[in-house]
Chains A and B, each alone.
Chain A
Amino acid sequence: AQSVTQPDIHITVSEGASLELRCNYSYGATPYLFWYVQSPGQGLQLLLKYFSGDTLVQGIKGFEAEFKRSQSSFNLRKPSVHWSDAAEYFCAVGASGTYKYIFGTGTRLKVLA
């Protein structure tokens, strides 16, 4: 069965600084990988996803993520964080042939002005 780990519960960065949120997954084959963002009191919104092909994926709001099979990772990055990026970020993994996506426990991002 697949699983996903987000090792950082909270991250604080200054506005304008770069950001990297970590995600490690466990799955025997190439998984479907997703990053979602959740603003306070809101549902989850898809930032980007990876199925196959180019391992560097571009998403909305200036985010990107890189799939590294050797490290079983799918880290989310943004070169310059904006105050509006403060939210909770979820990595999710899905196995081929199922919609049972497994979500990580989330990383809460705080942005300092």
Chain B
Amino acid sequence: DAGVIQSPRHEVTEMGQEVTLRCKPISGHDYLFWYRQTMMRGLELLIYFNNNVPIDDSGMPEDRFSAKMPNASFSTLKIQPSEPRDSAVYFCASSLGRGYGNTIYFGEGSWLTVV
């Protein structure tokens, strides 16, 4: 079975540009997560969805970040405008939730560099 699929794998963009990261969760999974990984802050949960509905977005750093999940098989994380401090690896992950504590499956990440 295909795992969590993220695109692009690598992106280099200029400060001020809009960045859109895409994610296709594992088919049938009803939870979707966006994480950010940096050297300074480690792995941080930005937002997560259940059945396409945002449940907790308290980790979204500021209004420049937004996430959507228009259907069960697709989600986007958008940064507008981007800044150099947004450079990080962004992971999408999904889980089949039947009670908390289920395994979260991670994608391979989108490596973002903002120059």
22 pairs from A and B in contact (CB 8 Å cutoff): A36-B106, A42-B109, A43-B4, A43-B91, A43-B108, A43-B109, A44-B43, A44-B106, A45-B106, A46-B103, A46-B105, A49-B103, A94-B100, A96-B100, A99-B33, A99-B48, A99-B97, A103-B42, A103-B43, A104-B42, A105-B42, A106-B43
Residues of A within 8 Å of B60, CB to CB, are: none
Give B residues with C-beta under 8 Å from A. Answer: 4, 31, 33, 42-43, 45, 48, 55-56, 91, 93, 95, 97, 100-101, 103-109
In the bound complex, CA of A96 to CA of B103 (Å): 14
Do B106 and A101 touch across chains, with their CB atoms under 8 A apart? no
Cα distance, A81 to B25, chains bound together (Å) = 33
Assess whether A101 is in contact with B45, with CB atoms less than 8 Å apart. yes
B114 to chain A, nearest CB (A): 19
Tell me whether A43 and B48 are in contact in the complex, defined as CB-CB below 8 angstroms, given that A32-B101, A94-B101 are known contacts. no
User: A interface, by DSSP: helix, strand, loop or mixed?
Assistant: loop
Q: Contact residue range for chain A?
A: 20 to 34
- Nearest chain-B residue to A44 (Cβ)? B106
A32 to B101: give the CA distance in the assembly, Å.
6
CB-defined contacts of B43 to chain A, threshold 8 Å: 44, 90, 103, 106
Question: In the complex, A44→B43 CA distance in Å?
Answer: 11
